Structure 1
């Protein structure tokens, strides 16, 4: 793609950080607000909403009950012309609490970027957070994050995010939580996995950073938030990390519809965003890891997955490669060295060395391998390396990320074998109902290269607890035959 064509797109979608015309294009609105409004709040909370009525009470309750105090907040509920009763749900909070502001846009903007930009232009707090309307905070979240930033002086802070699907909790961005607490941490030290998220959840930034650098959300439905927060990271250069869970990400909504929204326009929007970042910011470790992680994610969506809104086939793979070449072009580094699995590394290699038909056949074969492994437990073993079932010698073998199997359990000592090309960090147990607040690292002895003995607690209850092996890239794996070994021992 010619540079001038890309520049036209950057202008059309309002990427340019030297251009303030996006402020003039921000939608007009009507505003309703509490009788008492603090002019210098500690934290401004920007909430973009469109038809989230069922979730709004939980979200609003999490804000008005913050330990930081509602008197120290600016709660900005910005409605993008909802057709449900969202406004009726939020309006009672105006009468009951101070510092609630409802912005009703005069026209629908078609995405979260529009309401969020209204929020940026009207925020008054020292710090700024962006909260999705169906998510919610831990009650101590804003006090905790703002205190961390007060102490560190950083412009950017992150802390733990919990994903909730029908009440089942899982960790969304592992580095935010697992890395522990840091002050003034250089963004060049952040792992590639850190950049696997960068959505609005779990992040607080200094508002002055936004105004100084003309930060705003680009005018497209996807990649607007990640672009915004990566730019904020680059201007911050150092960040603060917390060790507490602060944010709950709601995924109760129809996940099938979320998958179907991953379509061709989604792909083009992401390539445009990555292209702008690649051309705007200097080459450094942070940018390399960010681009690598995001390219891996796109590669998985558009070369491997079948359940998205862009039909799987040779044409899709060919289109992906064409857009990759046009928007990103030749990189001066190999992004696949940061990829998290053999499948993705090999797919990237095939994409660059083979035609779309070869990639298509390789992925089709692997889909069969995957089912045979996951459903039937079939593997191919060569020495101490485990692979998905080979099936065909025309295509390369694909290593399992890890293979762990329990062997014996006596006197609270679990003997097991672990095979992986990734360095093992250790073993953990967690409560099924509260998997991360209850996270416990277990003591163990390494008996040989692949054999380990782990000490389980005296009161270990397999019905209430998860046991996993953890690796240095934040990945983890369950242990084959673990439950059978534990149950057999308990029955004696």
Structure 2
């Protein structure tokens, strides 16, 4: 057996079917996994539904508890005891898996000999899930230096022997955060922890009604679990310095992503606030003081209040932090938050630096192709700086080559009251061979020596062009296309520079005006003003000014008048001549999409000699024909 799936079930009649359907329809063969459903004495029809699935699917096991345990921990422990799989996966009854999850999860874990594998989580219906550790797949993640401590839920693939041999079970004496205790103990015993980020493995669903993470828990119960985690770290086989750093990472997570976050201002009643502070202080006393130096600055300040038993100070600090912009100033190239609550403590200015909490708030109001450039207009300001100080900022646009990390800088055309306009000149961005590739756009903002650079684009008005719209230009070396687009994961603005050899077009001709149109389907092509069509013959090049240029939703129409072409080719003695069309330079060819197309460009009467002295007037047709993506001028 490869995988055992453990599902604690309690009054899940409206949810369990979706979960089980996702499990029985996996791409992994059914004989390779079992589904252990532990009913925790449900009072609805959950057990009946489980038994119906059991009758239909041989790999489903139903365990009936004789009394309700009050939480998912005991049912999960029941599943661990009877699990036959090499690995065990914990799934909540209101969640579900991607159809390929088990097969991908197992094969990767087996190949890399992983003890624990985190599969990428996907939140559904607004459910928040940890994301920072899923930027890339990593077969061997460091417990201390990575972000996996920010994922302490049990919904992972564990080697079953890791749990059984080390007696790692869910604590049942606590009813809050018991999954964090379990996961941390498993992390500490694992020899190899992996992250899989190539697929949406686990779908965590936000349902109507109460969720366990939002339900009330008593402070003594909650902080007992936190103390258990600290004790587990201190008792682990890690080196002492790594224990200290791991506890610091855990405290960063705890204060920013648990019930403790802003706990003093969330609780309105003073008596209740005092009770939570008492147990929070008890928890922090278990944490060695040398941990304090490794936590984030705002966590370090919280610990200062807690270790000094200053409940009023912590409450005031949390309130001030909510209104941090009132207390921020720029000093010596840094953002400093001078909180009144800290006036009676000897705190260094370094500890008051809040650079890491600041970010650029931006919005793109217009992105538009101009003559030879891309106009980028919008607003930008520093989140932690008031409007008056924000008016002192200066901007620089920065394009960073994604591969070489080379940088190109542009100054704003205008910038006033946080409103900017940049003109990105394509010919300067693509000036040499090494410029080929993707350029990511940043804006660097400076205020009195303090600088912050941020990616731009994910907050914007709707982009008016298609994803294929590009500028077509040329430098001294090659023809290039410049295509702005928004990145897949973070939706920020980038420009892709590529060599451009040819463009396929459909041809359309208006005989009355002698206008020849090149229609580029499925492409929006922007050209510099005064562009020309180059007609290349074996003897010369003829330049035809572009008469009109129209961008349509899914195509581009470029029109020229061929009268001058006819005049210059009329004297040609050959009845058929190969010609080539290009835009602005003969290095860039236009190919015809349609083969064997014939366009009558003009008709004229001409005298021709027949049988010595006899002459006859005949009609001569000047034709443009296509054959295998080549053009022929003939008469």
Q: Which residue of 2 aligns with 1:273?
A: 228
1:66 and 2:66 equivalent? no
* CA contact 2:7–2:37 (8 Å) conserved in 1: yes
Deviation at 1:358, TM superposition (A): 1.4
Q: Which residue of 2 aligns with 1:232?
A: 186
- Shift in alpha-carbon separation, 1:153–1:311, aligned structure 2, 3 A: farther
DSSP 3-state at the match of 2:67: coil
The match for 2:40 among 80, 86, 91 is 80
1:163-219 Cα shifts (integer Å, max 9, x gaps): 22x3x465x2223311x112234434x42x321222122x11111222222222222
1:382 and 2:330 equivalent? yes
Deviation at 1:76, TM superposition (A): 0.3
- Shift in alpha-carbon separation, 1:410–1:88, aligned structure 2, 3 A: same
* CA contact 2:306–2:314 (8 Å) conserved in 1: yes
1:305 and 2:263 equivalent? yes
Q: Which moved more, 1:103-112 or 1:234-243?
A: 234-243
* CA contact 1:186–1:239 (8 Å) conserved in 2: yes
* CA contact 2:19–2:94 (8 Å) conserved in 1: yes
* CA contact 2:5–2:35 (8 Å) conserved in 1: yes
* CA contact 1:222–1:266 (8 Å) conserved in 2: yes
Deviation at 1:130, TM superposition (A): 0.8
DSSP 3-state at the match of 2:201: strand
- Shift in alpha-carbon separation, 1:258–1:155, aligned structure 2, 3 A: closer
- Shift in alpha-carbon separation, 1:88–1:357, aligned structure 2, 3 A: same
Name the structure, 1 or 2, with higher relative contact order (CA <8 Å, separation 6+).
Answer: 1
* Structure-1 separation of matches of 2:244 and 2:375: 43
Q: Which residue of 1 aligns with 2:59?
A: 99
The match for 2:16 among 45, 56, 59 is 56
Deviation at 1:361, TM superposition (A): 2.1
Q: Which residue of 2 aligns with 1:323?
A: 282
1:443 and 2:450 equivalent? no
- Shift in alpha-carbon separation, 1:302–1:231, aligned structure 2, 3 A: closer
Gaps of 5+ in 1: 1-40, 427-440, 470-492
* CA contact 1:261–1:309 (8 Å) conserved in 2: no
Deviation at 1:344, TM superposition (A): 3.5
- Shift in alpha-carbon separation, 1:450–1:385, aligned structure 2, 3 A: same
Larger Rg: 2
- Shift in alpha-carbon separation, 1:357–1:228, aligned structure 2, 3 A: same
* CA contact 2:457–2:491 (8 Å) conserved in 1: no
DSSP 3-state at the match of 2:14: helix
Gaps of 5+ in 2: 345-351, 385-397, 401-437, 446-450, 468-484, 494-635
**What is the correspondence of 1:104-123 to structure 2 with a 5 Å cutoff?**
104-123=64-83
1:213-244 Cα shifts (integer Å, max 9, x gaps): 22222222223222222222222222222122
- Shift in alpha-carbon separation, 1:316–1:310, aligned structure 2, 3 A: farther
* Structure-2 separation of matches of 1:308 and 1:261: 13
- Shift in alpha-carbon separation, 1:235–1:398, aligned structure 2, 3 A: closer
Deviation at 1:258, TM superposition (A): 4.0
* CA contact 2:73–2:170 (8 Å) conserved in 1: yes
* Structure-2 separation of matches of 1:297 and 1:442: 34
1:159 and 2:119 equivalent? yes
- Shift in alpha-carbon separation, 1:403–1:391, aligned structure 2, 3 A: farther
DSSP 3-state at the match of 2:149: helix
Deviation at 1:298, TM superposition (A): 4.2
- Shift in alpha-carbon separation, 1:288–1:115, aligned structure 2, 3 A: same
1:48-70 Cα shifts (integer Å, max 9, x gaps): 11112211011001100111132
In the alignment of these two chains, the number of paired residues is 395
* Structure-1 separation of matches of 2:63 and 2:456: 56
Q: Which moved more, 1:268-277 or 1:146-155?
A: 268-277
- Shift in alpha-carbon separation, 1:241–1:329, aligned structure 2, 3 A: closer
DSSP 3-state at the match of 1:74: strand
* Structure-1 separation of matches of 2:281 and 2:454: 47
